[in-house]
Amino acid sequence: MCGISGIYSKTNDIEDLLIKFNKKLYNRGPDFASFFICKKNNFGMSHTRLSILDLSENGNQPMYDQSGDWIISYNGEIYNHLEIRKKISKNLNNTKIQWKGSSDTETILMSNRIFGFEETLSILEGMFAFALYNKKTNKLFLARDRLGEKPLYYHFKDNKFIFGSDLSVFKEVKNINLKVNNDVLPAYIQNGYIKAPNTIYRYINKLEPGHYLELDENFLKMKKKRYWNLKDIAQSNISIRNNSQKTFYQEKEELKILLEKTVLKQTISDVQIGSFLSGGVDSSLITSILQKNTGKKIKTFTVGFDDKNFDESIQAKKISKYLGTDHYEYFSSKNDLLNTVTNLNKIYSEPFADSSQIPTHLISRLMKKEAKVILSGDGGDEFFGGYNRYIYLKKIKFFSKNLPKLMKRNLNLIFKFLPISFFDKYFSYFGLKNFETKLSKMINFINCENEYDLFNKMKSINSKPDFFLNKITIQKEPENIGKDSLFSMPDEEKFMLFDQTDYLPDDILCKVDRATMHNSIESRAPMLDHKLVEHSWRIPLKYKIKGSKGKIILREILKDYLPKKLITSSKSGFGVPIDEMLRDSLRVWAEDTIFSSKKFNDIINYENLNTIWKKHKAKEINAGEKLWPILMLQDWLINQ
């Protein structure tokens, strides 16, 4: 893992800027920093290194290929790079190649030289964001991995091209326009993240997953091309699935073999490897496979809370004990929480509001002392039907369609006048966690006008973002996937596909990358191996979702590693008790932040925000989830 950056400019001091870029990206790569400059072409790029493969100086970057023409600055891991080396050797009739070292960076360079850029992209298996420059032709390529595990931002305006792993590098360039993009704020308040290709800045973009950029020899034109399309992958593999006669057992065994191969492939490393262990199906499965196939105890990590609705440390400890891992737990103090929250604007560089970013950062900080590489179960929910919105979709649609208007009105009235304590206390006796929050969402869904309205509300944190904003026009979604002929598939799979192309890269993977890299740790997600992803779309939906349970096939595989009593029916996924945290440990910070919104009255509606805050503080409502995006936005604005 590393930090990459670069700039083409005729007016800026390129060397000075590259040094500043590297300082901003130090956490992403504290082991080595350097840069390359082509003064003739007014271009330079830099690199900060987190050493994982080939710890010697042979792995340092920017790195030249053997011709001396191509230079790369690369962030990521290519898990099949040794296989690519064999392919290169075979292509050269087994001519002996004088490799400088054993890094995957050198493998990409040689593959580009032998097979070309696009062919190289097609054979890479892993996560990456890289810049590949030819100083002879003055041509630049930038590419991002298929699923969006690694970030890449860019600015192309006023005869300047700038790119980097983090938005912080752009603030070092004094004469570029860093105007806030108000157009993205309603969708941000609604979802908690800013979707690619947009960023919080109007003139800076994110490169979307599965895309690359090509800039011509004079940096006058830029082409963007998609080299891998998940929607097409889903459609083609569903066609294969429809002609398959495989039984559930056959599907299970085939997936199990592929999972084991993928996890083993992702253990390639010259440093200590560990595993997230939340106690849920995905992390338990990855951890189980890793421990089974490792000759020594692996290190596992979890985070705990006093609130039992969110604490999974006990379950994680039981699984660790059964598997025989070297287990570490982290329980946060009030000071830890406050220190983390006040630093989130630095960690994420733009407003980001998935509250599980807090425990993800805390556990990453714990891991920093014990392991440099961590494996996670990210992707299990999106590709194998884990979210409640897939499981309850049909029931919600049925009730929304058939429930009489009078009953809908009565549900709204009951919910409005009964105190939240009634729902939380009464339904906790039946083992139902956070029932009040779930009920409020359910009523919101029932009142949907149509299917697409339901879809938008099911993926939203706040269905009425304009309530918190002033003088900002709500932007309509540019794409109505419900009307796209591509989506001739069950509704559950429509939602899964949308999450895979939207929520997964821009929320989940952003959250994990920024938290881990801020702590100089590399996170790997075996379930996001693109071959495994493609395979997942060949598995029938009925083997993923059945009744009120999701991830059926993953649960059955997990039974081969763990006893049934240790396989949970639900999990929080490093969720946090954000409602109580805002009333307790984060209360002073929240009030100060809300009060500061008066400074930004052209953006934020202080009166409406303060009204919701007072009701939340008095426990008249639970609004932590709705408040969090606006608090993160305000905190970011204050610290600009």
Alpha helices in 378-466 (DSSP H): 380-384, 388-391, 393-402, 405-417, 420-428, 435-446, 451-458
CA angle, 378 as apex, 373 and 381 as ends, to 5°?
Answer: 165
By CB atoms closer than 10 A (0-12, 13-18, 19+), residue 575 is buried
- Tell me the C-alpha to C-alpha distance, in Å, between residue 213 and each of 140, 216, 332, 639: 8, 10, 42, 31
- Bin 120: left if φ > 0, else alpha if -120 < ψ < 50, else beta: alpha
Return the structure tokens found at 182.
């108000």
User: Three-state SS for 282?
Assistant: helix
Distance between CA atoms of 339 and 12, rounded to whole angstroms? 36
Cα dihedral 608/609/611/614 (nearest 10): 180
Evaluate the CA torsion angle 438, 441, 447, 453 in order and state its sign.
negative
Return the structure tokens found at 283.
């992390």
Closest C-alpha among 441, 457, 443 to residue 407:
443
CA 488 to chain CA centroid, nearest Å: 27
Q: Please identify which residue in the block is written with the tokens 């992403």.
A: 28
CA 419 to chain CA centroid, nearest Å: 36
Long-range contacts of 314-319 (CB under 8 A, 24+ apart): 314/279, 315/279, 315/566, 315/568, 316/277, 316/278, 316/279, 318/566, 319/277, 319/279, 319/284, 319/287, 319/562, 319/566
DSSP letter at 364 equals H
Cα dihedral 100/102/108/110 (nearest 10): 40
Distance between CA atoms of 399 and 432, rounded to whole angstroms? 21
CA 379 to chain CA centroid, nearest Å: 9
Angle between helices 491-501 and 230-242 (to 10 degrees): 150
Distance between CA atoms of 299 and 332, rounded to whole angstroms? 20
DSSP state string for 479-540: --GGG-GGG-S-HHHHHHHHHHHTHIIIIIIHHHHHHHHHTT-EEE-GGG-HHHHHHHTTS-
- Catalytic annotation, residues: 2
User: Three-state SS for 221?
Assistant: coil
Distance between CA atoms of 311 and 102, rounded to whole angstroms? 42
CA angle, 334 as apex, 331 and 338 as ends, to 5°?
Answer: 115
Greatest extent of the chain over all pairs of C-alpha atoms, in Å: 79
Phi, psi (deg, nearest 5) at residue 172 = -80, -15
Return the structure tokens found at 491.
């509704």
